């Protein structure tokens, strides 16, 4: 089938590439001329595991093409809208890009088109889109509007598209439902060549859920908001664990064994980030307000998350006492591993707070440094975790990259100014890192130190509380 995808961000580019991978003839449009030029030259504008390989395969097979929105509108019988819907100052989603695509379709397209919302949009956007097309169409356009929310996780988007647990489509006609079923049939039947695994573990019967458009639009916001709520809940519990001397990892394990709860998204830490959860929670709150529904629960979810970086800074202050003039190393800048996305990343807010406190910040991330430089130019970017840790008074773990699990801690101990690790993702057990001679502070668990005063290569480490005790005795 000839399919168009308008927008080549994380969602649009993954959608276009994967639709081509399962056999469709896809035209992907991008309005950013620099990004479009890169795509046409075979250069990836973003990092997403396996995506570059899928695009390369599809282009060699002449099933994936890049160009303008006008060309895309002429090309596809089905048109996926995958443009950005960033938050406005009041929390509403900015739908100006959606409106722009709708206007272009109405003015240019003729014959039948299935117009599919893939972007995350407020409920009833589909109804508004349908009315807009009806009023503005000038060339005898015959159309259906459908909602097909994406559930792609950055870092595993290709696998999520090709091996989904569910495909949700919101339609108002049998014609639209049938066409979407045809588009996704290779995924539903798991009949395609998997570019990720040579021995592909096919998923079992992904659910193809057909709803009305408004319900489909709500499913996306409700899903992301619920997952955000789980994260904020376990972070709230982590605070209580620290206050009473409990271990949040054991509490989360015990909770997760209940099949009604499950273990996913019960990992405490410095808070959620990225472009989806913060934006979607805010947008869902605004949607509810406009419908006169009380979503104060989600306001608390957002409030808890917004406070996480401040609490983490307080942990740093509690260990270093005086932050001004100290060197801190940040490991991880992306909001999660396996992506270069730094939008709303806790590491960015943390680094800015530490700079405001007068600290010197060095940072390392395997793939996100270039994008971080655009929003965080005043820190030192390092080639690896060791360089970032050189002379540091504290190592801060902010993104749980797998490579951090395989570092030489003996080497690190000889490089740092103070052997202190503050882990914002609970990557390690306290016993493991303290066994290497470091004081280890994490989230929702008791800290660990090898001894009241640890000595490494002639360097003495004392906690901030010990320094305060000395100062008070001298006074």
User: How confident is the model at residue 89, as a pLDDT?
Assistant: 87
Euclidean distance between CA atoms 461 and 4, whole angstroms: 60
Euclidean distance between CA atoms 470 and 321, whole angstroms: 12
CATH 3.40.50.720 is held by the domain 2-211? yes
Task: Record the pTM.
Answer: 0.88
CATH fold, domain 220-306, is 1.10.1040
Is 276 among the residues known to form the active site?
Answer: yes
User: How confident is the model at residue 473, as a pLDDT?
Assistant: 43
Out of 28, 82, 194, 276, the active site residue is 276
Could you check whether 2-211 and 220-306 share the same CATH topology?
A: no
> How is residue 475 written in tokens?
């006074």
User: How confident is the model at residue 469, as a pLDDT?
Assistant: 47
User: How confident is the model at residue 197, as a pLDDT?
Assistant: 75
Q: What is the CA radius of gyration of the chain?
A: 25
CATH 3.40.50.720 is held by the domain 308-474? yes
Number of neighbours of residue 464 by Cβ within 10 angstroms = 16
User: How confident is the model at residue 465, as a pLDDT?
Assistant: 45
Q: Helical H runs in 245-368? A: 248-256, 277-290, 296-306, 308-320, 346-356
- pLDDT averages per 10-residue partition of the chain, 475 residues: 96 97 97 94 93 95 96 96 91 91 94 95 91 89 95 93 95 96 94 78 81 95 96 97 96 97 96 91 92 95 96 95 96 96 96 97 97 96 98 97 96 96 96 94 89 47 46 46
Domains of the chain: which residue ranges? 2-211, 220-306, 308-474
User: How confident is the model at residue 219, as a pLDDT?
Assistant: 96
User: How confident is the model at residue 201, as a pLDDT?
Assistant: 67
Euclidean distance between CA atoms 88 and 302, whole angstroms: 16
CA distances from 48 to 9, 11, 152, 154, 348 (A): 11, 11, 11, 7, 20
């Amino acid at each position: 089938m000839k399919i168009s995808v308008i927008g080549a961000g994380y969602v649009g580019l993954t959608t276009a590439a994967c639709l081509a991978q399962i056999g469709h003839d896809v035209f992907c449009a991008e309005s950013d001329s620099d990004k479009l030029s890169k795509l046409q030259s075979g250069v990836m504008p973003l990092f997403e595991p396996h995506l570059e390989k899928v695009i390369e395969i599809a282009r060699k097979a002449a099933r994936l093409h890049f160009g303008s929105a006008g060309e895309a509108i002429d090309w596809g019988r089905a048109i996926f809208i995958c443009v950005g819907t960033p938050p406005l100052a009041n929390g509403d989603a900015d739908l100006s890009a959606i409106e722009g695509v709708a206007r272009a379709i109405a003015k240019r397209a003729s014959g039948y088109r299935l117009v599919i919302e893939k972007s995350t949009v407020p409920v009833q956007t589909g109804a508004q889109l349908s009315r807009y097309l009806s009023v503005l169409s000038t060339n005898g356009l015959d159309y259906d509007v459908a909602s097909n929310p994406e559930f792609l996780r950055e870092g595993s988007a290709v696998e999520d598209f090709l091996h989904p647990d569910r495909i949700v489509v919101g339609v108002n006609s049998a014609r639209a439902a049938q066409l979407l079923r045809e588009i996704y049939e290779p995924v539903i039947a798991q009949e395609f060549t998997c570019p990720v695994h040579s021995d592909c573990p096919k998923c079992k019967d992904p659910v193809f859920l057909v709803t009305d458009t408004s319900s489909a639009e709500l499913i996306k916001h409700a899903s992301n908001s619920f997952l955000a709520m789980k994260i904020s809940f376990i972070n709230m519990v982590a605070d209580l664990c620290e206050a009473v001397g409990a271990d949040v990892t054991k509490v989360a394990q015990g909770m997760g064994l209940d099949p009604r709860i499950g273990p996913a998204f019960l990992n405490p830490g410095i808070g959620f980030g990225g472009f989806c959860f913060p934006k979607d929670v805010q947008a869902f709150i605004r949607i509810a307000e406009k419908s006169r529904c009380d979503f104060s629960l989600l306001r608390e979810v957002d409030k808890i998350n917004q406070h996480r970086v401040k609490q983490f800074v307080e942990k740093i202050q509690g260990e270093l006492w005086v932050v001004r003039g100290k060197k801190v190393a940040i490991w991880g800048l992306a909001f999660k591993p396996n992506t270069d996305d730094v939008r709303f990343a806790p590491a960015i807010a943390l680094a800015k707070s530490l700079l405001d406190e007068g600290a010197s910040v060095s940072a390392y991330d395997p793939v996100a440094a270039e994008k971080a430089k655009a929003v965080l130019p005043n820190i030192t970017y390092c080639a690896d975790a060791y360089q970032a840790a050189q002379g540091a008074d504290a190592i801060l773990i902010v993104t749980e990259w797998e490579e951090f699990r395989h570092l030489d801690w003996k080497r690190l101990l000889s490089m740092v100014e103070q052997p202190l690790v503050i882990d914002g993702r609970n990557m390690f057990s306290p016993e493991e890192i303290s066994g290497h001679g470091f004081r280890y502070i994490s989230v929702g668990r008791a800290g660990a130190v090898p001894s009241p005063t640890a000595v490494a290569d002639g360097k003495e480490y004392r906690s901030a509380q010990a320094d305060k005790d000395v100062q008070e005795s001298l006074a």
